[in-house]
Amino acid sequence: MSSTSGRHSPVNYRLRRVCGALLPLLLLSACSMGTVVVRGTQTILDSGIVAMNRETDLDLARAAMPANLKLLEGMLIEDPGNRALRLYAAEGFYGYAYGFVEIEDRERAEQLYRRCYNHARLSLKQSGVSLDPESSAEHEFEAAVARAGKAAVPAMFWTASCLGNWINLNRDNPAGIAELSSTAILMRRVLELDETFYHGGAHLFFGVFYGGRSPLFGGDFARSEQHFRRAREINREQLLLVDLLYAEYLARQRLDRDAFHNRLTRILESPVNLNPDLALINAIARQRAGILIKSEDDWF
C-alpha cells in the first residue's frame, strides 16, 4: 500500500480524531482546575475594581476591601504566576493602606505596604526586571530598568509606589532613604514609556519627591511644581489627590500657607460627583484634607 493511501486509511483517521479529542485534556492536565477557574474570572475582577473605584461611601469601601484582598491572595495560591492578579493585589494593598490605615496606625500601614511591595516586586521580576530594587547597585539596576518595555509599566509603577510609601513611613531609617533612588529610577522609566499611567501617578510621585524635601537634601520646588501641574493637566483637574499632595508636601515645605489652605479648601468644597470613576480616591482625598487643614495653625 502506498504512503498516500496509508495516510487516509480508516485506522489512521480514527487515531487522529482520538488524539485531537485528547489534546485539550492533556493541556488542562498541565493547568489545574483552580487555575482555569481563576483565569476565567478576569473580567469579573476588572468590573469589581471599577465598581470599587466608583464607591462614594468610605465605610462601605473600608469594610469590603479586606475580604477582596484575601480573595486575591487565595487566587494567587492557585495561579502564582498570574501577573495581572499580582498587580491587582499590589494596587489593593496600596489603596487600603493609604486610604484607611496609614492615618490611624502607621506601623500596620508599613506592614501592608511591604505586602503591597512583595506582590508588585514579583510582577516586576516576571516582567523581566530581575534585580532587587533594595539591594542592587544603582547603576546595574538603572541599566536593567532601561531595558524594560511598556508592558512592564504597571509592575514598575506599583513596585515604586509601594516601596516609596514604605520608605516615607521610615524616614529615620538610613537604609530606607538609600532605597529611594531605586523608586526614582523606576518612576523615570514609567514617565518615559507612559506618563499618563494610573492618572499620571509618576508625575505625582515626582511632585512629592522634589517638593517634600529641602533643596539642601535634594529637593527642587520648581521641578515639583512642574510635575504637579502636569498631573493636573492629565486628570483635567478632576483628581483631588493632586491638590492634596501639593498642599501636604510642596506647600508645607515652602511654608506657603495660602497655597496650603486654598488647595485643601478646594478639595473640601468640590462636588461629590466631580468624576464618578474617581469617586473613591476623591473621597479619600476629602477625608485626608479635612484632617490636614485642622493642623494648619500648628504648621504655619
**Whole-prediction pTM:** 0.86
CA dist list (Å): 276 to 16, 232, 280, 281:
55, 17, 9, 10
Burial class of residue 269 (count of CB atoms within 10 Å of its CB; 0-12, 13-18, 19+): exposed
Residues of the chain with pLDDT under 50: 1-7, 11, 13-15, 17-30
Question: For 195-300, which CATH class?
Answer: mainly alpha
Neighbours of 238 (CB within 10 A): 15
Helix axes 138-146, 174-194, angle to 10 degrees: 20
Q: What are the φ and ψ backbone dihedral angles of 235, each rounded to 5 degrees?
A: -95, 5
Classify residue 136 by its DSSP letter.
Answer: S
Tell me the one-letter amino acid at 104.
E
pLDDT of residue 123: 96
Tell me the one-letter amino acid at 287.
Q
Q: What are the φ and ψ backbone dihedral angles of 187, each rounded to 5 degrees?
A: -70, -30
Task: Look up residue 12 and give its three cell numbers.
Answer: 489512521
Task: Look up residue 64 and give its three cell numbers.
Answer: 469590603
pLDDT of residue 45: 76
| Domain regions of the chain by residue span | 195-300
Tell me the one-letter amino acid at 208.
V
Beta strands in the chain (DSSP E): none
CA dist list (Å): 232 to 8, 196, 228, 267:
68, 11, 6, 13
HSE, CB side, 13 Å, CA atoms: give it for residue 237: 5
Tens digit of each residue's pLDDT (9 = 90 or more) over 146-157: 999 999 999 999
Task: Look up residue 82 and give its three cell numbers.
Answer: 498570574
Tens digit of each residue's pLDDT (9 = 90 or more) over 46-56: 788 899 999 99
